[in-house]
Amino acid sequence: MTELTPILLSALTGFVSGFLLSVPVGPVNLTIINEGARRGFKWAVLIGLGASVMDVIYCTIAFTGFSSFFGSPIVKTSMEVFSFAFMLFLGVKFLSAKTVIAPTQLGAAASRIEQRIDEKLHPHSAFMIGFARVLGNVGVLLFWIVAAAYFLSHEAYFTSYEWVEDTLAAKAAFIAGVALGANLWFCALSYGVARKRRQFSEQTLLRMERFSGICLLGIGLYDGGHIALQLARHRHGF
């Protein structure tokens, strides 16, 4: 049973990550809200399914294509500092949101990329609409690259192993958890807008987004404290 613990931890970490990443208001959620209220639950769920498939592809690229790169001590240390700054950046961005925006996008350049992908693919089916929305959002790929660096290099609380062990089984469990968490959110959102639109008003979504911001800020501050403690120990030769 002990041998399964890292796998279960990886799956749970992926589930929570996939769910929390999907909650902040963005192009996929806005599309589900608009299309679900107009065309029903099935159409909205297919949009979410397409989005989660592309999300899992980005996650897989990050965890399989960059894991060896993160093995270098210098790169590992650099990514710890970067992940601390990135978590604070996203946390503040989510927490300070005043309107329903797309917080995981990276500005005008990312918006142009998404527009060009839409023009090239011309998605008409619900699945392809959701797929294209995530494909054009390069901020999602950046998030998973940072997440891979963080989870592969940080020990889980009260354990002696990382949040995601650098093994194929652990990475597969994490990716499966991401797929499950993202789809759970998209299904819940689709049901809410198709059956009871008021449950997912703009203010409700903004409150959820701000809660995600608080979680990310908490993680960022914890990492900052951990980095400061390591520096202090190094300075005093502990």
Would you call 164 helix, strand, or coil by DSSP? coil
Mean pLDDT, to the nearest integer, of 101-108?
48
* pLDDT tens readout for residues 112-133: 545 555 555 556 788 988 888 8
**How large is the angle between the packed helices 5-22 and 41-65, nearest 10 degrees?**
130
Mean pLDDT, to the nearest integer, of 199-209?
66
Q: What is the pLDDT of residue 153?
A: 77
Cα distance from N-terminal residue to C-terminal residue, the chain: 35
Which has more pLDDT, 155 or 134?
134
Min mean pLDDT across 26-30, 44-48, 132-136, 189-193 is at: 26-30
- From the number of C-beta atoms within 10 Å of its C-beta (0-12, 13-18, 19+), residue 99 rates as exposed
Q: What percent of the chain has pLDDT over 70?
A: 68
Residue 67 pLDDT grade (very low, low, confident, very high; cuts 50, 70, 90): low
Q: Given a cut of 80, is residue 106 above it in pLDDT?
A: no
Q: What is the pLDDT of residue 176?
A: 96
Min mean pLDDT across 32-46, 97-111, 117-131, 148-162 is at: 97-111
- From the number of C-beta atoms within 10 Å of its C-beta (0-12, 13-18, 19+), residue 29 rates as buried
Q: What is the mean pLDDT of the chain?
A: 76
Residue 103 pLDDT grade (very low, low, confident, very high; cuts 50, 70, 90): very low
Q: What is the pLDDT of residue 110?
A: 47
Other CB atoms within a 10 A radius of the CB of residue 66 amount to 17
Q: What percent of the chain has pLDDT over 90?
A: 19
Dihedral over Cα of 94, 100, 105, 107: its sign: negative
**219: Cβ contacts below 8 Å, ≥ 6 apart:** 87, 91
**3: Cβ contacts below 8 Å, ≥ 6 apart:** none
Residue 171 pLDDT grade (very low, low, confident, very high; cuts 50, 70, 90): very high
Residue 46 pLDDT grade (very low, low, confident, very high; cuts 50, 70, 90): very high
How many residues are listed for the chain in this entry?
A: 238
